[in-house]
Amino acid sequence: RTQNYNLCQWEAADKVQRVDFNADNAKMDTALGGIADRVAALEAKQPVELRRIKLTGATKRITLSLSGIDVTQYDHLRLEFRDMELSLGYLGAQVNGLTSGYVRMNTNGMSPSASEYASVGFQGNGRGSLEIHPLNGWVALRGEAVSAYPNSTKTPPYNISASLSWSIHKDVSYTGLTKLELMSHNADGVFSAGAELVLYGMPK
């Protein structure tokens, strides 16, 4: 079998069967169709869907592989959260498994992050996004969220907040990204089942 698409490779003594050809053609048609869809989306300046994850159970950490994505095709990557619910704390993100070296950016400039992750700003439940940008050879994470979180003193018992945050890591380049992980800054924070994450390549 071939390495990438598991297509048949016949030995001299193998019996050639019609079902093998049909299965191979179906695999190639699917692969080529996906390439055509991506090219069409890029030409139309539309976001290209690269990854999709739906949580079937509650979890404390979400891992998204970025291997195999040619980020140079896109201006930046955008990860959208849908029906995301985090039981405790704020959302943090780690790149390539690194647990230190994150720098937070704000209107006053740059400051070292006090945590082992980049702060994204998502809290409670709602919708939001995390964008991944190239910045002077570094990777920059831009978190944006509209969140609802409990407040027992108000009716309805939820506060609605919007947040925007930037963080960078100087030891990781945009083209060197292989993995993105999401977790709560609170060790007991849990992502509920049913949340969906969709990663897009945004056109140049």
CA neighbor of 119 nearest in space, from 104, 135, 134: 104
Please state the rounded mean pLDDT for residues 70-80. 90
Task: Report whether pLDDT(23) > 60.
Answer: yes
Per-residue pLDDT tens over the stretch 157-171: 444 444 556 788 888
Per-residue pLDDT tens over the stretch 24-65: 888 888 877 777 776 776 667 788 899 999 999 999 999 999
CB atoms within 10 A of CB 131: 18
* 184 backbone dihedrals φ, ψ, rounded to 5°: -90, 150
Cα gap 24→6, rounded to integer Å:
8
Bridging pattern class, strands 179-184 and 76-95 = antiparallel
Please list, residue by residue across 149-188, b when 16 or more beta carbons sit within 10 angstroms of its beta carbon and e when fewer do: eeeeeeeeebeeeebebbbbbeebebeebeebbbbbbeee
